[in-house]
Amino acid sequence: MHAVRNTRKCLPSRFAALAAFYLYLSVLPGGSLTSAAEPAAPAAESKSIAASADAWPVFRGDALAQGVARCELPEKPGLLWKQSFSRAAFEATAVIADGMIYIGTNNDDATGDFYALSLADGKEKWKFHSDAGFSSAAGVRGGHVFVGNFEGRCYCLNAADGKALWGFDARATVHGGPNFYADKVLFTSEDGTLYCLNAADGKPAWQYTIDQPLYCSPTVVENRVFLGGCDSAFHVVDLDTGKAVAQIDIGAQTGNAPAVLGDRAYFGTLGAGVLGIDWKKPAIAWTFSAPRRKQEYKSSAALAGGLVVLGCNDRQIRGLDAASGAEVWNFAAKGNVESSPVVVGPRVYVGSNDGRFYGLDLKTGENVWEYETGAEIVASPAVAAGRMVIGDINGELYCFGAK
């Protein structure tokens, strides 16, 4: 079995010393082209990524990190294809755009490969090799694919052929997937910095830094970006200036992407339970904590049907009332749940470290479908065009849909 890296924890990693060294030297990294060809600027688009039936372009499907698919799946999804990647592990969540899957691996020699695969049959279109592995999801926009690796290298790849258009060096590992605002791409890093880069050339527009690591994918709402940090704070940052708008003490560390609906942001922590935050006040609206249980949430929430759904390292998958935080249902998996759930119509799909991929009833939490892979699933599902894609740590990538 391929060993899983110690990701999505607010703890020092093997890159911490390197990050500290660069911070000590106060190095401000800049963008640098890795291709002789001048990259074409991404086409003009709306300021943030919206949900689509045919695309899952960022980690949680859209800029708000809601984790909700806009297409349908059959009641009992069938396995359409499976692809095996030797000496590799999938910790990263796939993204989907234009009939293609984009996903990176961690290889057993500490390198990584980033793939473009056909959604129809899983066949490889191109592969990009990196000296370090990938645990973060990518982001797709304007014919370009953006992704960061374990060495903190942020790439912009041509979606058509996988050629690197530019590279930017953050000062530590990139665990979170990117998000977008206007003509900018946003990356977080274990060095505690949110980098706002020009999508066309990778040059930094601004950066926002806290005094502890950032593992979360940034969530974009209007002209604000939301971050949960290992400094036990929820940060609201102005996307036009890079300046802090608000900081809220949340009582524990988190590395999860805040999921947003209306005036509320929702996420779990590594010790203070699950929070619902009124981000416009700003103030904590409610907190959920299960009695007599040690709770570490490494699963980002999905929002649908008035519920906040997320997994926990107490082996529970929970559906909480979005208005009050009261527990509506819980389902006991046979292993910790670090995978982030995705809602598809009346179902919730989520992986577990027990090697099972579960389909639960959204209203009741009843287990109505499952598929056993035999290997831990820490990645999350990506759903688009009537297909659902997820990988496990043994290097198997699965695609489900209507037979």
Given the structure tokens 């929070």, which residue do they identify? 275
Q: Which of 30-44, 295-309, 350-364, 387-401 is predicted least confidently?
A: 30-44
Residue 287 confidence (pLDDT) above 80:
yes
Residue 47 confidence (pLDDT) above 80:
no
Average pLDDT over every residue of 13-27: 34
End-to-end CA, the chain: 30
Residue type for position 285: A
Residue 22 confidence (pLDDT) above 70:
no
Tell me the average pLDDT of the chain.
Answer: 90
Q: Band of the pLDDT at 48, cuts 50, 70, 90?
A: confident
| pLDDT for 40 | 40
Phi and psi angles of residue 18, each rounded to the nearest 5 degrees, phi first: -65, -40
In the sheet that holds 179-181, the strands lie side by side as: 179-181, 184-188, 193-198, 204-209
Strand partners, 351: 357
Q: Which of 5-14, 136-145, 327-336 is predicted least confidently?
A: 5-14
Q: Which of 21-30, 120-129, 383-392 is predicted least confidently?
A: 21-30
d(CA 317, CA 70) in angstroms, rounded, equals 22
What is the DSSP secondary-structure string of 315-330?
SEEEEEETTT--EEEE
Domain 16-40+57-401 carries which CATH code?
2.130.10.10
| pLDDT for 316 | 97
| pLDDT for 273 | 95
Q: Among residues 250, 183, 256, 246, which one has the least CA distance to residue 218?
A: 256
CA dist 354 → 81, 241, 337, 372 (Å): 22, 44, 8, 9
Residue 144 confidence (pLDDT) above 80:
yes
Q: Among residues 381, 368, 398, which one has the least CA distance to residue 340?
A: 381
Average pLDDT over every residue of 342-356: 98
Residue 51 confidence (pLDDT) above 90:
no
| pLDDT for 383 | 98
Q: How wide is the angle at C-alpha 50 spanned by C-alphas 45 and 54, nearest 5°?
A: 100
| pLDDT for 9 | 52
Residue 43 confidence (pLDDT) above 60:
no
| pLDDT for 34 | 33
| pLDDT for 58 | 98
- 246-283 pLDDT, tens digit per residue, is 999 999 999 999 999 999 999 999 998 999 999 999 99
